[in-house]
Structure 1
Amino acid sequence: MQDLTLKTRTGMTRVLDGSARGLRSRLLFFGPAVIASVAYMDPGNYATNIQAGAGYGYALLWVVLVANLIAMLFQALSARLGIVTGKNLAELSRDNLPKPLVWVMWAVSEIAAMATDLAEFLGGAIGLSLLFGLPLMAGMTITAIITYAILMVEGRGFRPMELLIGAMVGIIGLSYLAEMLIAPVDWSAALAGMTSGAMPDAAALTIAVGIIGATVMPHAIYLHSGLMQSRATPRDDSDRRKLVRFSNIEVVLALAVAGMINMAMVIMAASAFHQGHAEVAEIETAYHMLTPLLGAAAAGAFLTSLIASGISSSVVGTMAGQMIMQGFLRFHVPIWVRRAVTMIPAFAVVAMGVNATQALVMSQVILSIALPVPMIALLVFVARRDIMGAFRPGRVTLTLAGLGAAAVLTLNFVLLAEAFGLPVPFL
């Protein structure tokens, strides 16, 4: 999965030994965090961000910012684990944990991969069905074909895949830049929303729980460690330090872009819907109301970003699922098998006539159940000196990671309690 061309590998080696310098050479190391960042702008985020902006204007932008900072920390730790150990998180779990626990982790992670694919498939399918007036099942089929075609690009080397996914992230970003230029944004209120830390009421807290609790995606934690494990071959600890430094820079930049796109979703919804249409909470409703409120260009940009998000995140979800299965089970999985394993449940849900938005909510609940598995495993492994050696993170980093994990897992528990109708204090 990690095939890079000889030219790319040679260029990386020259950077590591100091014979090549400059921005162009450093860009050879960029790509893994861009791919992982797709998980933070997938269709599952759209409904929550729209609901936050429509219902509370700019007031919850600070929640998106905090969620993004937590995501940066965990993706950086995942990348570090792959660089230092040469193994991905699934492989380390398989090699270091009791076998019964490994089987449970694999089963939970497979279910999470299916839930991830459900949300991503639905996002692309909803976008295509709205754009071309197609039935949802037809949109699903087209999304599946496009996704499989993109996955075949990986046979030409991993760098083209990174560039293709990066281009889709660019499309999503440009679409929301266009939204920002079209929408009547109150930038002073938006800045205040990013820094206020205010929580307007209990219902806003529920939405904030949804934003943070579903931020760190299980498959992204697994995937990033795998993307880094054999991307460049470090000769010694000096090379590893350079790789960790390059990775940290890329994580900050890629996740900053993802965070800005999520903020742009909230800002667009706040500008278009908050005054007079605060009840908007579904993707389809948001699209149909954008045309009369902001014009066809805004609605078109929204659909373009949704389709690019659905397709790119579906590709990334398949890559992560393949890595998880191979890491836990020790054998190669053909890409068509991996595609079928996660695609069939998504088609089954749509065939049963389940409401698309309800299906998205259901997928987020399943992801909330699965998240503790990779999150806790990652913290355990990066804190072990026998695994990380001199690259074990410092006490401050581990403390922040522990606090971040506690916050995210607590909020995921709240999400689950709400989903199953259990009483939750303060909500």
Structure 2
Amino acid sequence: MTDAPPQVLPAAHEPTGRRPRHLTPTLLGPAFVAAIAYVDPGNVAANLTAGARYGYLLLWVLVAANVIAVLVQYQSAKLGIVTGESLPGVLGARLRRGPRLAFWLQAEVVAAATDLAEIVGGAIALHLLFGVPLPVGGLVVGGVSMLLLATQNRYGQRRFESVVVGLLLVITVGFLTGLLFSPPDARGVLSGLVPRFDGPDSVLLAASMLGATVMPHAIYVHSALVRDRFGRAPEHALEAHHATDRPGLAHRTLLGATRWDVAGALLLAGLVNIGLLLLAASGLRGVPGTDSIEGAHAAIQSALGPGVAIVFAIGLLASGLASTSVGAYAGATIMEGLVHRQIPLLVRRAVTLIPALVLLAVGADPTWTLVVSQVVLSFGIPFAVIPLVRLTRDRSLMGEHRNGPWTHAALVLVVVLVVALNLTLLGLLVAG
């Protein structure tokens, strides 16, 4: 493996310009793909458990987590637009060989853990819907995700985004349909917006919910999604719209559109997560066995009927298929940026499928597998968030688009909060 020399990325010194608002709809999409990470099977399990055990108590955690997600994901997209490079690519250009390879190894472990959880979640959905054995279900999920990635290879970024957004809509319908049959209590919802806990177990669950929200691979992949959509010269991305040939105006146009993209995508993902908690709080409160996806499905079927349970399982299947495709995309981004090597997405998909299939074949408990994957992800969060916060404050890299002191302070607070809660979660899991 040859070692590519470090590169110096150009600063973004640009003139001012007004954003043509009519361009915004045509520039949406990357954030909706990244948002899939926020409605993956791990989030489903955590939110259902929170609602079933504590009712509306931890609703405020999801609201806070969504605000954090908006801040962090916008910074990732902003870095990709201004530099024309992904977060791993920027780090790969700045780190020496030893630290760069070490960073790549931990990022690959995070990507593998993410992929594991998504394939297991999709396999569980196929088992619930059709009684498919878990190993066979994992193979099917991997195969379908390869077809989704082939869409990106053959038809380009926009078509891939359209397919994933379509799956996101299926997820939304699948997970929120139950609310029509078991609407939440308005007073309970309002009381859930007041920050409070009910013993150590609720603290543990809140830490898990927040820790699973800021996903490392979503941060890596969002910067790559905007880079691949708009290219390394953003002004070229707007030429087809006859908008401008000025790089400064191009950056401002794309950043303006990205704010709407991130806000809309994560609002939708946040509503899905909140809907899952509300569904469990209104229809599954106190029902035993809802600390696993299979148990939650059985409880939904018992409390709300088989029709709602089927729609829920379809949403879970769409969640596994979409999120594992995005996870493979993230893994390819990490390798390209940090070791300067590209492996075809389909080949990578086939290789990373193996660990999940092995665990399913040997009979590993699916819920335990999901828990372990979330613990691994908690280790990876600081490695993704801390460099992002530092880089978006760097004037030599971001130019006039670097974060101001108030934005930087807010992001530092987010880092401290997320890291502290994930360390708390990790400590409680080890102690338990």
TM-score (normalizing by structure 1): 0.91
Aligned to 1:182: 181
- Secondary structure of the corresponding residue to residue 277 of structure 2: helix
Shift of 1:350: 1.4
Shift of 1:18: 8.7
Conservation of the 8 A alpha-carbon contact between 2:289 and 2:296: no
Aligned to 1:272: 283
User: Which of 24, 47, 50 is equivalent to 2:48?
Assistant: 50
Shift of 1:230: 4.5
Q: Distance in 2 between matches of 1:284 and 1:181?
A: 22
Instruction: Tell me the amino acid that sits aligned with residue 229 of structure 1.
Output: R
Instruction: Tell me the amino acid that sits aligned with residue 121 of structure 1.
Output: I
- Secondary structure of the corresponding residue to residue 270 of structure 2: helix
- Corresponding position: 1:301 with 2:311: yes
Shift of 1:331: 2.4
| Greater Cα offset, 226-235 or 322-331 | 226-235
Aligned to 1:240: 251
Instruction: Tell me the amino acid that sits aligned with residue 228 of structure 1.
Output: V
Q: Deviations over 1:362-411 (max 9, x none)?
A: 00011111111111111111111110110001111111111001100111
After the TM superposition, which residues 188-337 of structure 1 pair with which residues of structure 2 at under 5 Å, given as runs? Answer: 188-193=187-192, 195-232=193-230, 233-234=234-235, 235-274=246-285, 276-277=286-287, 280-337=290-347
After the TM superposition, which residues 56-95 of structure 1 pair with which residues of structure 2 at under 5 Å, given as runs? Answer: 56-95=54-93
Instruction: Tell me the amino acid that sits aligned with residue 411 of structure 1.
Output: L
User: Which of 129, 134, 139 is equivalent to 1:136?
Assistant: 134
Aligned to 1:4: none
Aligned to 2:107: 109
Unpaired runs of at least 5, structure 2: 1-15, 236-245
Shift of 1:244: 0.8
Aligned to 1:167: 166
Shift of 1:64: 0.5
Aligned to 2:6: none
Shift of 1:321: 0.7
Conservation of the 8 A alpha-carbon contact between 2:40 and 2:320: yes
User: Which of 389, 398, 411 is equivalent to 1:388?
Assistant: 398
Conservation of the 8 A alpha-carbon contact between 2:88 and 2:220: yes
Aligned to 2:27: 29
Q: Distance in 1 between matches of 2:265 and 2:408?
A: 22
Conservation of the 8 A alpha-carbon contact between 1:38 and 1:313: yes
Shift of 1:341: 3.0
Shift of 1:215: 1.3
Shift of 1:349: 1.5
Shift of 1:346: 1.0
Instruction: Tell me the amino acid that sits aligned with residue 134 of structure 2.
Output: L
TM-score (normalizing by structure 2): 0.90
- Secondary structure of the corresponding residue to residue 431 of structure 2: coil
Aligned to 2:240: none
Q: Deviations over 1:27-84 (max 9, x none)?
A: 2211100000000000011111111000000110100010111011000000000000
Give the root-mean-square deviation of aligned CA atoms.
1.7
Instruction: Tell me the amino acid that sits aligned with residue 383 of structure 2.
Output: V
- Secondary structure of the corresponding residue to residue 364 of structure 2: coil
Aligned to 1:8: none
- Corresponding position: 1:398 with 2:397: no
- Secondary structure of the corresponding residue to residue 409 of structure 1: helix
Shift of 1:421: 2.2
Instruction: Tell me the amino acid that sits aligned with residue 69 of structure 1.
Output: V
Conservation of the 8 A alpha-carbon contact between 2:121 and 2:317: yes
Conservation of the 8 A alpha-carbon contact between 2:19 and 2:253: no
Provide closer, same or farther for how the CA distance between residues 136 and 19 of structure 1 changes in structure 2, counting only shifts above 3 A.
closer
- Corresponding position: 1:359 with 2:358: no
Q: Distance in 2 between matches of 1:20 and 1:68?
A: 28
Instruction: Tell me the amino acid that sits aligned with residue 237 of structure 1.
Output: G
Q: Distance in 1 between matches of 2:203 and 2:281?
A: 17
Shift of 1:120: 0.2
After the TM superposition, which residues 410-425 of structure 1 pair with which residues of structure 2 at under 5 Å, given as runs? Answer: 410-421=420-431
Q: Distance in 1 between matches of 2:265 and 2:428?
A: 32
Q: Deviations over 1:93-138 (max 9, x none)?
A: 0111232111111000101111000000011100001110111011
Shift of 1:21: 5.9
Conservation of the 8 A alpha-carbon contact between 1:54 and 1:279: no
| Greater Cα offset, 279-288 or 52-61 | 279-288
Conservation of the 8 A alpha-carbon contact between 1:129 and 1:139: yes
Conservation of the 8 A alpha-carbon contact between 1:113 and 1:342: no
Conservation of the 8 A alpha-carbon contact between 2:150 and 2:346: no
Q: Distance in 2 between matches of 1:213 and 1:271?
A: 24
